[in-house]
Amino acid sequence: MTGRVLAIAALTFALLAPAAGAAERASLTEIEKQVMCPVCGTLLQLAESPQAQRERVFINRLIDEGKSEEEVKDALVAEYGDEVLALPPDSGFSLSAYLVPIVAFLIAAAALAVGVLRWRRAGGGDGKGGPAARAAGPSDEDAERLDADIARYDL
């Protein structure tokens, strides 16, 4: 019985271990989508310049050494600076690339909300124009003018 359990455990380990290793192994194709060719100003995936070829050789060498995707990207940053990353790092000044759109959206949403509130308040306050005023019907002045017109045109 113990022998059978050990055999199953060994078989399970033998099947799972290579899969786990393969999942962690970095891939040139994946990294090419995430880094730039600094000279071409395009994704490495799209670049065919001599510099791009050297960058691919460098990445492949690191992959062969067993480096992870993050380690390869760190090494590229050490060689070329932050600009080699297709997406800016989420720290320091580069963080503004992520924060500015969010802050701008929040400011726009807040401005819109304040505007709508003011418009509704203004509409309800003077008895003219706003949805609340329309729901309450015409003012006394309008009603008198309407009655006069109906009488004048004999409607």
Tell me whether residue 26 or residue 38 sits nearer to another protein (CB atom).
38
Residue 116 touches another protein, criterion: CB under 8 A: no
What are the strands, taking DSSP E only, across the chain?
36-37, 42-43
Q: How far apart are CA 11 and CA 143, in angstroms?
A: 91
- Output the CA–CA distances (angstroms, integers) from residue 37 to 78, 79, 150, in the order listed: 14, 12, 79
Tell me whether residue 56 or residue 130 sits nearer to another protein (CB atom).
56
Residue 81 touches another protein, criterion: CB under 8 A: yes
- Output the CA–CA distances (angstroms, integers) from residue 94 to 39, 78, 85, 89, 91, in the order listed: 20, 17, 11, 6, 6
Minimum distance, C-beta of residue 81 to another protein, in the bound complex (Å):
3
Tell me whether residue 50 or residue 137 sits nearer to another protein (CB atom).
50
> Residues interacting with another protein, by CB under 8 A?
38-39, 49-51, 53-55, 58, 79-84, 100, 103-104, 107-108, 111
